[in-house]
A and B are shown apart, each in its own frame.
Chain A
Amino acid sequence: MSEPLTLDLLDSDGAIREALDEGMQGTRSELFRKAIVGGGTFLAGGLLIGGLPKVALGAPSAAQDAEILNFALLLEYLESEFYVRAVAGGALSGDVLAFATVVRDHELAHVDFLQTALGSSAIAKPTFDFKGTTANQTSFIATSIVLEDTGVAAYNGQGPRLRKQTLGAAASIVSVEARHAAWIRHLAAAPAYPNAPADYPAPAVLDPALSKAQVEAAVGATGFITG
């Protein structure tokens, strides 16, 4: 499939890269000018007083998009490394191995896309310790379900904070994560159907959204990120 998500689409006015690559000083007035031209919400609040727009202000902005994309990149680093190690580790077989191989490639491509979008503003890849969950098929499956479900909830939580062009890109990624989630859920529990509705590929009418703080807490609790 040719990419619907070119970097141009995502960062058509270069605002993301500009906001983060260059020193804040030089671009402050430029950013204000763009913000004012762009839509007025920046006129309110403490913007013109305190300096650069705080990302926490909530209104969509290139700088906020960058922060959110880096958050997404962190999660994609985590997932891709998890699958890379699981596939290489030799503990997976059959349909589960096939799943992990495809998903690994997807997550690596997502990493690549986000790194390109963020340019030199992209965070570096952390170091990971997956605590044996990539070395055992049962643990792998359980962990994968959590990672994919959490990824969906993370993207859905951040989606409304993104500028529209970035949201388009995020939407094209989150549905793939949801497909992954359903796929591994099916692998894990299909023989038990129709029992175990909580284990269905689509366990609920709506997918929940999690805040950044909640996702960070959940990921932190795993201890997978070591540096």
Chain B
Amino acid sequence: MPDTLSLDVIDADGAIRETAAAAAGDTRARFLAKAGLLGGGLVGSSALLGLNPATAGAQGKSDIAILNFALTLEYLEAAFYTEAESMGALDGELALFAEVVGAHERAHVKALKAALGSNAVARPRFNFRGTTESASGFAATAQVLEDTGVAAYAGQAPRVKSTAILKAALAIHTVEARHASWIRDINDAPPAPAVFDSPLSMRAVLAAVADTRFIVPARRRRRRRPRRDTPPAPRFTG
């Protein structure tokens, strides 16, 4: 299975190229530019998300923010599944789920980081507070994380400006929905509980994530002391 997002994978059918070809005359160049596809023969290449450093600057600030939001969620999911796999509390189908889905989320992290390049936010520190260490805690948490991920991607899709990024987001979005359905099945919950899945705004998702307290806030710098003061020496035995 591919472990990077490549334009070939996203555009396997040529849909991007189909619409691009349909654009007449010099709108083609403008269309491609808008889609962030210009530069370095990216259409048809395996460059991640159809972007290379030359066109990375073409990503608007808004798309960068959306990608970093997605990256943060994927960091969280990936870390959750990775830890769960090593905590010895899962077996059977739950263990398989953690392994398979963890691999997907790690691949999503890798791809989003590569797409963002130096704009990628750093991986936070996590405290999963025991949810990776019991089967029931894991199962319940995984269900909420996946459902939230589906709602998060649905909320952002209409806000994405770059077509290449949108295609990638849609490709990830439905995989998260498959994850959600699977863990619900394992949990004896309805795999598809609603006719339409509700989107969530970025703010709502971030609030829900904050409520889990899974993300450990980066340690504040020590209280700033005036420059001329040096910290006290340690009082080890010496």
User: Which residues of A are in contact with B by a Cβ distance under 8 Å?
Assistant: 1, 3-5, 41, 44-46, 54, 56-59, 102-103, 105-106, 109-110, 113, 152, 156-157, 159-161, 164-165, 167-168, 171-183, 186, 190, 193-194, 197, 200-202, 204-211, 213-214
Chain A proximity of B50: nearest CB distance (Å): 12
Please pick, from B9, B163, B185, the residue contacting A206 in the complex, using a CB distance under 8 A.
Answer: B9
The residue among A44, A46, A180 with the most chain B CB atoms within 10 A of its own CB is A44
Q: Nearest residue in A to B166 (C-beta to C-beta)?
A: A160
CB-contacts of B1-41 with A (<8 A): 1-3, 5, 9-16, 18-20, 22-27, 30-31
A-B pairs, top 3 by smallest CB distance, nearest first, are A182-B181, A202-B178, A178-B177
8 Å CB contact of A3 from B23, B31, B196: B196
Which residue of the partner chain A has the closest CB to B35? Answer: A160
Which B residues lie within 8 Å of A159 (CB)?
157, 166-167, 170
Taking CB atoms, residues of chain B closer than 8 Å to A165 are 158
Residues of B close to A207: CB separation below 8 A: 170-171, 174-175, 178
* Option from A160, A183, A208 in Cβ contact (under 8 Å) with B192: A183
Known: A171-B157, A183-B181, A209-B11. A58 touches B192 (CB 8 A): no
Known: A58-B22, A178-B175. 5 other contacts (CB 8 A): A152-B174, A157-B13, A172-B197, A183-B192, A208-B9
Contact (Cβ within 8 A) A102 B175: no
Chain B, range 151-186, C-beta contacts under 8 Å to A: 153-154, 157-159, 163, 166-168, 170-182, 185
CB closest chain-B residue, reference A174: B174
Query: How many B residues, CB 8 Å from partner?
Result: 64
Interface residues of B in 86-117 (CB under 8 A from A): 93, 96, 100-101, 103-104, 107-108
Taking a contact as CB atoms under 8 Å apart, the answer to whether A178 and B100 are in contact is no
Q: Could you list some 11 contacts between A and B, CB below 8 A?
A: A3-B196, A57-B22, A156-B171, A161-B19, A176-B196, A182-B185, A182-B191, A183-B192, A193-B96, A209-B12, A211-B13
